[in-house]
């Protein structure tokens, strides 16, 4: 009945959040089909990875760039010998390796964390 005295049907509340699987499928599809939203998500991951790489490279570059500046500013330090090896060679040979390994280890862990955050974003 559609007349003036008719009782309207009871309202039903439809909530997308109650459908747990809908978000996962949509996010994955958006990334796989390269929609605007998926493209923005991938660009965000690329931007995060690039930012991380630049920060690590800058930190390592500054760390290794300081050594020549110190040797130029204080020439006497170039003559210091530790265990018969001059300080510049010791810094270049024995200290550089562990610093680069530590920077690489940090970068890999942080990059994996970025990728895990992206995966969590797509899967949630």
**Residue-wise pLDDT tens digits, 67-88:** 889 888 988 888 888 888 888 8
Residue 34 has φ and ψ, to the nearest 5°, of: 55, 50
| Distance (Å, whole) CA 55 – CA 101 | 16
The pair of three-digit structure tokens given for residue 106, joined into one six-digit string: 């940090």
| pLDDT score recorded for residue 80 | 87
59 near 103, Cβ under 8 Å? yes
| pLDDT score recorded for residue 18 | 52
Lowest mean pLDDT among 5-19, 93-107, 109-123: 5-19
| Distance (Å, whole) CA 111 – CA 48 | 9
27 near 122, Cβ under 8 Å? yes
| pLDDT score recorded for residue 106 | 97
| pLDDT score recorded for residue 10 | 78
């Amino acid at each position: 009945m559609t007349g003036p005295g008719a009782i309207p049907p009871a309202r039903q509340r439809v909530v997308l959040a109650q459908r747990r699987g809908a978000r996962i499928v949509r996010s994955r599809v958006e990334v796989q089909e390269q929609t605007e939203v998926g493209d923005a998500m991938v660009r965000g991951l690329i931007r995060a990875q690039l930012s991380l790489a630049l920060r690590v490279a800058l930190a390592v570059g500054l760390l290794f760039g300081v050594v020549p500046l110190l040797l130029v500013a204080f020439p006497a330090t170039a003559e210091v010998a530790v265990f018969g090896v001059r300080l510049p060679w010791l810094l270049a040979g024995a200290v550089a390796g562990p610093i680069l390994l530590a920077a690489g280890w940090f970068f890999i862990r942080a990059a994996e964390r970025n990728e895990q955050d992206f995966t969590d974003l797509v899967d949630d």
